[in-house]
Each structure stands twice: as structure tokens, then as C-alpha cells.
Structure 1
Amino acid sequence: MLTALFAAFVGGIILNFMPCVFPVVSLKAFGLLRHDGNTASARSEGLAFLLGVVVTMMALAGILLAARAGGAAVGWGFQLQSPLVISLLALVILGAALNLLGVFEVGLSLQRAGEISVGSGAFVRSALTGALAIIVATPCSAPFMASAIGYALVQPPTVALAIFFALALGFAAPFTLISLFPALAKRLPRPGAWMNVLKHALAFPMLGAFAWLVWVLAQQAGTTALGVLLAGSVALSLAAWLYGIAQRRQLAGRGYRVMYSLTAALLVAIIAPLPGVMKPVESTDVSVSTAPIKWTPQTVAEQRGHGKAIFVNFTASWCITCQVNDKTSLSTKAVKEALARTGTLYMVADSTKFNPDVDDALSQFGQGGLPLYVVYPADGGAPKVLPQVLTPTLVVNALNQASGKKA
């Protein structure tokens, strides 16, 4: 258990540097830069970020463990299998990007609207940043995390929650420590006019995260849901613009209530149709480059021990690491040639939409989340689990060994 706790804590620290989390944690980094000499406010915001991370992590872990106890086969990142969650998350991130671009302000007093300042809402804003960071972090799988989460999911609830708590502490540790210890904060650049440029620049990683979520939604729910989300995004942008105008009119002492009412009406119009539209659709299209066989436990059982190796790619469109491995390793010429030369059966287990069989398999192999790569030897021997970060050489060697053929 101590090993799992340590692995979860270290994995949480590394998670800060994963590409799917960077757009959100960069907001926290920007927040730290605002506190020039204000130790109390820096500590308050750092603790708020820690609170948001821990509460959200424990809530997700509690839901995950409760669902599994009730017989549901769900795993790490389960909430991103819901098109409704994906669409709402995309709209939140778009709103954050518009805020960074200065279209409207959040958490700033009207007397300071448009300036780089801490503002009275900093505590709540920092806590929400922590919550958002954890929600978008779940598709990522940092080193040491998979084994720790896999271990947690087969332990009693108290042990499992302790491991998830360690993961949350590791994730929040870098920013919280800098906030709590002024000596570390002194090493950060001093605030200045350049921060306005940085604030605007940080909007573009957020827009990149928004584009990724839109792509994931298209894989999950089809073109109708995609069209609704895009229309909602335009409406949200209009609402943000109207809200910004209302803020400036209020600051100038002019009428602003009509603008706020229009903003509220637009937000209701955006959110209301989402539950009825954001539903998974059946699709036979899978995003792989080598002709795959659709994975099922039954298919694997039927094909094992018949003289052909089997390579199973457990993947999902919302899994960033999966997509990187597909482009850098599984789609390369060397791996394609090795699959053909060894006669290996290539199977894809897609968990973009909820697939209980995939989650059962993850539990079977002691993995808490995606990606998972399993090679079954041609002679029917014990399967081998490959590392979560692939290289073409690693895959080719595994295929050669499993098939009993030399390169």
C-alpha cells in the first residue's frame, strides 16, 4: 500500500506536465504571478487550489467506487465517456478562454475591471480552477499512475480513497508549496505590463483544449451533437460579449440590467437542449491505421492458441496518450510491416463510449485507466502488458517475441 501511495503522489506531480492538463494548470501558474509581496493572498489562493483539487478528486473517486460496488464496470476517466459532460466541459473551457482574452471579467471588482489583480473572488476562482484541472486530467495517465489506480480499484474503499487522496495531493503540491512558502515565490518573475500579454496568450492553449473536446464529442455523439455544440459555442461567445458590455456600462453608471438579462437568457438557451442531444451514437468507424478486428473477450478467447499472436490496443478518442502512441508508434511503417510479417491479429478495444467489457479487462490486468496494450503469444501462453508509452522498436520486438519470429 505504501508503494501505491508513493506512486500515486509522484504520478500526481508528473500529471501537471501532461498535455491535456497544461491549459488549465497554466491558469494557476498565471495566478501565482499576480501575488507580488502579498503573502496572505498567495497562501489563500494556494490553499483554495488544493481544496478544489482534493474535493473534486474525492468526489470522482467516490462516484467511481460506488458505481463499481453496484456492479458497473467503470474506470479512470469514466466521466469523459458522457457526451453531455464533454459538451459542458467544452463550453466551460471556451468561456475561460474568452475571459483570458478580456471579453468579460470574472472575480474582479468593477473598479479593477480589465486589470491584472487578485480581486475578491480569487479564492473561489482558484478552487474552481483546481476542480476543472482534475476533471480534464482524468484522460491523462502519468508514469506510476496506472499501477497505483489499478491497485486502488481492487482494494477496500478506505484504501482506495487514500490512494486517490495521495494522487490529489501530488497533483496540487507544486502550486500549493509555492503559494505557502514566500521564498519559493520570490523566484517567480515580478508582475508587470507583460502579464497582460501572457494572459491573452494563455487563451490559446485553452482554445486548443476546447478544439480537442469538440473532436472527442464528434467521435462519441455524431454530427448532430457536434452541430448543437458549435451553435452553443457561438451563442456562448455572444453571451460573453454582452456580459462584458454590461460590466463596462455598469462601471460607467449607465443602464446594464437588460444586457445581463440577455446574457442569462442566452445561457439558458445554450444549456437547455444539451441533455436531449448529447447521447452516444453507434459507429463502426475506429481511428486506426492498420486494418483492425473489433475486440471482444469472446473474440480473443476464440483466436488464442491457434498459431497467431494477438495485439490488443485498448484506446479511446479522449485518451491523449492513446492518440500520441497511435501516431508515433502504431501507425508507423515499421509496426505495420511487423504486424503483417508476423501474422499478428490486431484488435482494437474502443472505450470512447462506455464499454463495460473494456473496463473489466482493465481490472483483469490491474490497470486503472487507458492506454493498455496487451500481446497474446501465438502459442497460447500468458499475455504480456506493454508500457503505456510506446516506441516502434518496443512494439516490433514484442510482436516478434510473441509470434516466435525473428526480425
Structure 2
Amino acid sequence: MMRWLLLALLLVPAFARAAESNRVTSARDTVSLISATKSATGTKLHLGLLFRLKPDWHIYWSDPGDAGEPPALELTAPAGAKAGPFAYPPPHWLVAGSVGDYVETGTVLLPFTATLPSGATAIAAKARWLVCNPKICVPEQGRFNLSLQGGAGPSREAGLFAKARAAMPRPSPFAATIAPGGDLTVTGAGLTRTAVKTAHVFPASPDAIVNAAPQPLHFIRNGFVLDLKPAGSKPMRVLAGILEITDPTGQVQALTIAATPGVAPSTMPTPWIVWIGAALLGGLILNLMPCVFPILAMKALAVARFGHDDKRAARREALGYTAGSVAAMLALGIVLIVLRAGGAALGWGFQFQSPAFIAVMAWIVVAIGLNFAGLYEIPGIAMRNRTTGSFATGVLAVLVATPCTAPFMGGAVAAALAAPIVLALGIFGALGLGIALPFLALALAPALARILPRPGAWMIVLRQFMAFPMFATASWLLWVMTTEAGADGALIVAAGAVLIGFALWLLRFRFLLARGLAVVSVIAAAALLPRIVPADAAARTTLPHSIPYSPGKLASLRAAGKPVFVDITAAWCITCQVNDRIALEPAAIQRDFAARHVTLMVGDWTRRAPAITRYLAAHGRDGVPLYVFYPPDRGKPVILPQILTPSIVRRAIK
């Protein structure tokens, strides 16, 4: 009995023998040549180049996109052996600035079929590939020797081939057409809003489309349309590649498509009145958001002036404030639409991703604070020109108060950026009107105006007191500058504020020399702007025990069934900072995360980050904050409210 058991143990390695070559290993990856069978049967053999890539490193897909090159392999022995093309799994979309690439990450098997002379028992091959991370690319190469004398049957690596086959794109069951302008129309059963969350096309040719451009999704009857941006000036005739469709649970199906010429259909979006109403309501609610606190001083003074007896003047001021809010919102919307049309990965609040914009806003806020403190008078805030001042107040309200999104506002902005230009401008105009609506109502409704206190000496004290919130706002902007341009940027902002303050003080004197020095001082401050240099981009993970957002890391955690809490935030978003302090930073919440093994992932959108912009768009948002919880065991992700409390977070992770 013992002899038979010993014999069985000796035979086990033969039945489980691997069919893998030598491994070529670097600090970035480990690569080998493997076979699906232990020996060659006939003249065809299923082989594969197996990459085990370290975290943050990638190789390139068959179409690498704007940069890089795909792996290449050549069989050097036996004589006459030939290797067929690689079969590639669906790629990942990687965007850096204006460069869009298609890459493979993690453990990647590139299967291919080899044609061998009869009786071959060993294979020799050489391969070359480019392996990259976000900062550097390294060309690599290797020689591989694979023995095929393991007997009949599948090899130990056969499971890798089966897994690779399951992941390969399958032929699309849906009809696909491409319009000359780049509209890809996909129609078929089941392609509804409830079944399709996102979609993306990976072209087989690198010069077919602008690889870095977003691909907005619109639904039509029995399907959807992807707005692709053609790479050249010629109209698109055909398009081949892979279409990835993601459902609301996060499951992805990859389909091979070959779109034929067609005409762009008319989309059937949500009725325009719904988006207009959502925008109006979102703008109204924005008045209650933490982002609006920096301009409460200006609004308080505007409300105080509505208490005087001159109702006609009150209406003029209210209309001026409304006109300023609407005009500023329309201008922001137009700039954002134009930049997005040019391929820029921008979203709501994009202006705060510019250090120069933050510097100018800080100087404006300091100037207003000095005005409130009584250092000087601005035409428009003075009694003689209040309508102009109200218009300027409305403009500033929008510029300072809209880096964050209020409830109902996120969907409206996303709809505006995907809608025809007329509807888009209507949505942005409704947002501006919603911001001004409370003050418009106070001026136009006499019953409401009567509840306000009558003007008096108390307004002077209120105005002086309100200088301090403005100075606090300038301090906040200075902190934001440190996150975007470091200590040097903050010093430049402070120096510019001193120059602006000096110029305003000089306006007290009426002689020509003082006015000339004031102009020189303002010019000197403006000359500082080009000297603001953005600091090296680095993800901020200010929350305890958090990691930076990474699409690859999120995908790997999801694949492993791990729970993940994603916090998309920005330094300039006051709502985000308040939520972090109240609902995510407390030690009790951190203990809850640890007890449930939840990974806290922070996406920093303080500066432009195309990967985060795409993540926002995939969840129907174009601004921060965004909170998404991915339950364990690949459960359906949950989007949390934009205003967080500890109880909301606890309920989500439980």
C-alpha cells in the first residue's frame, strides 16, 4: 500500500507540469512565454506573452493612442515557426493633458497562435515592449525559451487562457453607424438609461478620433449616441474598434464594432423645462451652501438697502444684481462649453483650478474689504451709482460662490454641457437667476420689503463689520493658493494685495501724482501674475488613512470585492472642506471605516485632473463634491448627498 502511495506522489508533478518559459524580471514587471498545452499537438499551438505589471505601470494596447507602442514578438526557433498577431483584452483610457492613450494594467495575457513544424519540442522567441508609469517610459526586451515535452493535455497555465478568452471583446449584437461629424449611433434591444450608465469607444486606428477628447453620451429611442471628435478635417466614413458599455452595477461588456456610414439622429433628452427648473432650484439652494459664505457681506448690505423708501431705486438695484448674476453665469457657461468642445477635460468650478484667477479674486476681495472698512469709495457702492455696483456684486457672487454644486445643480450643469447651445445657455441663465431670486423677490414684493429694518446709522456699523468676512475670504484664497502654487505663490498674492491696498489708499488724494502712483501700483501687482508657477502636481490625501484616487486601484479593489469610499474634493470647495471636517475626519468615523475594512480614496480636483473629470462625468456630475460608496462583494455603488453628516456616512458603509 505504501509503495502505491509513494508512486502516486511521484507522478503528481508530471500531471501538473507547467508550460512556462524563463521569466524576464525588472523593477517594473515580470514577463514570460506560456503555452495552453504541455506539448505541441500538430502544427498549431496556443501561446501567450504573460505580463505581471507592478502597480502604476502599464503597457500599450494594439492601438496605443497618441503615444507609446504595443508589444511585439518574433519566434526565432524552431526554423520556420511563425507567430500570429496578439489578441488584446479591452484597454483602459489614460489621459494626460491633451494626450490620450489606451493601455493594459495588472496581469495581462496576450494570446496568439503559433505555426510550428511537425515534431517541435521547444520554442525560442524574442520580444520587446514599452512599459510606462505617469512619469516615465522604459523600453524593455527579453528572450524566452519554452520546452514542450510535458506530455498530452492542458498545462497548468490553461486557466489563464480560459480567463483571457472570457475577457476578450465579443462581436456586438447592436447596429452601429457613424455620422460624418463623429456621432456614433448604437441601437438595439436593452440600450436604455436604466441599463447603460456609461459607454466609451476604443478605435482600432490611432488617427480616427481625438483620443483625449471626452465622449458625451446621449440617449435616443432604442439606443444611444456617443459624440466622438474626428481627428482630422475629413468627415468620418467608417469606425472600427471596441465599444465598452458599463451598466449601473459597474459591470462592463466589451464589444467589437464596425460602424457603417449613417446620419446623426435627433436625441430625445429629458424635457427642457425639467432642466431649466432644476437649474433655477439649484441656483436658489446655492445661496444656502457653504460656498456662498464668502459673499454674505455683500448680500447683507444689498438686503439692508432694500429697506429704504425709494422702491424704484430698490427695484433697479435688484434688477442690476440679477443681471450681473445671469450675465456672469452665462459667460462662465460659454467659456466652459467652448473649452470642452476643444477637448479640454474641464468641469464646473474650473476657474478655481487657475492660480492666476485665485490671485485676482483675492485682490478683488481685499479691495472690497477695504471699501467696507471705509478706506475709499467705489462708484456703484457709493450712493450715486448703486445700479452699477449691484451688477458688479452679482458678477462677483457667481465667480466666488459657484465652485461647488448644490442639489439639483449637478445634473443641470451636466445636461447643459451635453445639450444644444440654446438650451445650454437657458440652463446657465436659470442658474444665475436662481442665485439672485431671493433679492429680486425682496425688491419686487412690497410685503416682503416691509419686514426689513429701515435704513439708519446701524448700516454704517454693519458695513464696517462686514469687512472682516471679506478679509477672512482673502485668507481662505491665500490658503488655496498654497495648495496650487506653494509658498511662493502665496507670497506673490500677499505682495499684490499690499500693492492694491496702497493704490486704493492713494485714491484718497486728489492730486495727479497720487493718481499716477496708484496706477503704477496696480500695474506692478498685475506684473506679478506671470510669476505664479503651479507647484508640482501631487494628490492631496488630507483625510486620515486615505489613498489618492486611481482608476486602476479602484478597479482592482472592486475586482477583489473590497468596499471603497471615494471622496472627490478640491481645496477651493468650501462645502468639501466642511464635509471632510464634520463627516469624514472624526476619529469615530475613521474607526467605522477600519472596522469594516473600507478603503477611503480621495480624488483631488484642486487642479486639472482629467481622470477625475472623467469619473465625475461617469456619475452625471461636472463639479465637486462627489461621494460614492462601493459596497463589498461588488455591490451596486451608492452616490451620497452633497451635504454629508456622520449618520449619512455610517448608514452608507453599513
Letter in 2 for 1:17: L
Residue 272 (1) aligns with residue 527 (2): yes
1:1-400 matched pairs, under 5 angstroms: 1=271, 2-34=273-305, 36-107=308-379, 118-119=383-384, 121-244=385-508, 246=509, 250=510, 256-277=511-532, 279-284=533-538, 286-400=540-654
User: In structure 1, how many angstroms separate the alpha carbons of the residues matched to 2:552 and 2:425?
Assistant: 33
**Pair 1:117–1:181, CA change in 2 (3 A):** farther
**Pair 1:34–1:395, CA change in 2 (3 A):** closer
C-alpha displacement at 1:239, in angstroms?
A: 1.8
Unaligned runs of 5+ in 2: 1-270
Contact 2:496 2:525 in 1 (8 A): yes
RMSD of equivalent CA atoms: 1.9
Unaligned runs of 5+ in 1: 109-115, 251-255, 401-407
Contact 1:148 1:368 in 2 (8 A): no
Q: Percent identity?
A: 42
C-alpha displacement at 1:171, in angstroms?
A: 0.9
By relative contact order (CA 8 Å, sep 6+), the higher-ranking structure is 1
Structure-1-length-normalised TM-score: 0.89
**Pair 1:309–1:98, CA change in 2 (3 A):** same
Deviations 1:365-388 (A, max 9, x none): 011311111122322233221111
C-alpha displacement at 1:288, in angstroms?
A: 2.1
More helix by share: 1
Contact 1:151 1:368 in 2 (8 A): no
User: In structure 1, how many angstroms separate the alpha carbons of the residues matched to 2:287 and 2:555?
Assistant: 39
Which shifted more, 309-318 or 373-382?
373-382
User: In structure 2, how many angstroms separate the alpha carbons of the residues matched to 1:283 and 1:363?
Assistant: 22
Deviations 1:124-180 (A, max 9, x none): 211111000000111232222223223333333332222222111111111122223
C-alpha displacement at 1:25, in angstroms?
A: 4.5
User: In structure 1, how many angstroms separate the alpha carbons of the residues matched to 2:470 and 2:441?
Assistant: 25
C-alpha displacement at 1:117, in angstroms?
A: 5.6
Contact 2:297 2:470 in 1 (8 A): no
Structure-2-length-normalised TM-score: 0.56
**Pair 1:297–1:133, CA change in 2 (3 A):** same
C-alpha displacement at 1:19, in angstroms?
A: 3.1
Letter in 2 for 1:234: V
User: In structure 1, how many angstroms separate the alpha carbons of the residues matched to 2:424 and 2:646?
Assistant: 35
Contact 1:32 1:42 in 2 (8 A): no
Letter in 2 for 1:173: L
C-alpha displacement at 1:103, in angstroms?
A: 0.5
Contact 1:53 1:168 in 2 (8 A): yes
Contact 2:568 2:627 in 1 (8 A): yes
Aligned length: 382
Partner of 2:190: none
Which shifted more, 322-331 or 371-380?
371-380
Contact 2:327 2:429 in 1 (8 A): no
User: In structure 1, how many angstroms separate the alpha carbons of the residues matched to 2:620 and 2:534?
Assistant: 27
Partner of 2:260: none
Deviations 1:312-361 (A, max 9, x none): 11010011111111100111122211221122222111000111111111
User: In structure 1, how many angstroms separate the alpha carbons of the residues matched to 2:423 and 2:628?
Assistant: 27
Letter in 2 for 1:275: P
User: In structure 2, how many angstroms separate the alpha carbons of the residues matched to 1:55 and 1:30?
Assistant: 21
Deviations 1:41-95 (A, max 9, x none): 2222211111111111001011111222222121111101100000000000000
Letter in 2 for 1:358: I
Letter in 2 for 1:58: L
User: In structure 2, how many angstroms separate the alpha carbons of the residues matched to 1:70 and 1:386?
Assistant: 32
The residue matched to 1:304 in structure 2 has which SS?
helix
C-alpha displacement at 1:203, in angstroms?
A: 0.8
C-alpha displacement at 1:29, in angstroms?
A: 3.6
Which shifted more, 288-297 or 209-218?
288-297
User: In structure 2, how many angstroms separate the alpha carbons of the residues matched to 1:337 and 1:134?
Assistant: 39
C-alpha displacement at 1:392, in angstroms?
A: 1.8
User: In structure 2, how many angstroms separate the alpha carbons of the residues matched to 1:188 and 1:62?
Assistant: 37
C-alpha displacement at 1:285, in angstroms?
A: 6.1
User: In structure 2, how many angstroms separate the alpha carbons of the residues matched to 1:283 and 1:65?
Assistant: 25
Letter in 1 for 2:643: V
- Please say which structure displays the higher CA radius of gyration: 2
User: In structure 2, how many angstroms separate the alpha carbons of the residues matched to 1:305 and 1:103?
Assistant: 61
C-alpha displacement at 1:105, in angstroms?
A: 0.8
The residue matched to 2:440 in structure 1 has which SS?
helix
The residue matched to 1:21 in structure 2 has which SS?
helix
User: In structure 1, how many angstroms separate the alpha carbons of the residues matched to 2:514 and 2:302?
Assistant: 29
User: In structure 1, how many angstroms separate the alpha carbons of the residues matched to 2:487 and 2:429?
Assistant: 38
Letter in 2 for 1:46: A
**Pair 1:208–1:359, CA change in 2 (3 A):** same
